[in-house]
Amino acid sequence: MLKVQEIRELIKLLDSTSISELTYEEKDCKIKLRKGALYSTVQPEVVVQAVPQQAPAVPVQTAAVAPKNEAPTPEVKEEPAKVEEKPSANIDAEGLHKIVSPMVGTFYAAPAPDEPPYVKVGDKINPDTIVCIVEAMKLFNEIEAEVKGEIVEVLVNNGQLVEYGQPLFLVKPE
């Protein structure tokens, strides 16, 4: 039986790919995820036989979408503002760039427990420098810096669970 966290990981993984629909089945659970064309987000359809907690999750999301259909003009005006903020969302008030987690998973600072971390405070990095690993569903994903600069702060601990978009490092860009 799937846990809520596993369903969230499936949704975020689907949202980060070009796949538009995913169906996952286990013996007591069937989940069908589909990206919605109207709002460019994942619209999950959950069919669960033994887990009554999953059914209320869908109406809550549907209720959140319904107001957009009732009053499209105010919502349409707000959405472009949010899109415009995203490029600067990774830069804080002090001009530091945030390297964020591209997925839900477990943060690992080093390639193995007995090896030194990929980067530490004060290290110079390039856009292709690997800064950490995020493990999601038994897949180890190397995360690249995507910016040239110097590591100012490591914001998470080794082995810590991280969320999608959670800041991992602060970098002083060059």
pTM confidence score: 0.49
Query: 168 is written with which tokens?
Result: 């991992």
- pLDDT tens digit at each of 174 positions of the chain: 667 777 777 777 777 777 777 777 777 777 777 776 544 444 455 555 544 444 444 444 444 444 445 544 444 444 444 444 344 456 666 789 999 999 999 999 999 999 999 999 999 999 999 999 999 998 999 999 989 999 999 999 999 999 999 999 999 998
Q: Which residue has the tokens 């945030």?
A: 98
DSSP state of 91: B
pLDDT (0 to 100) of residue 117: 94
* Best CA proximity match to 107, nearest among 132, 128, 90: 132
d(CA 20, CA 114): 40
pLDDT (0 to 100) of residue 32: 77
- Sign of the CA dihedral 33, 35, 36, 42? positive
d(CA 138, CA 134): 10
Domain range summary for the chain, segments of one domain joined by +? 4-85, 89-173
pLDDT (0 to 100) of residue 27: 74
CATH architecture of 89-173: Beta Barrel (2.40)
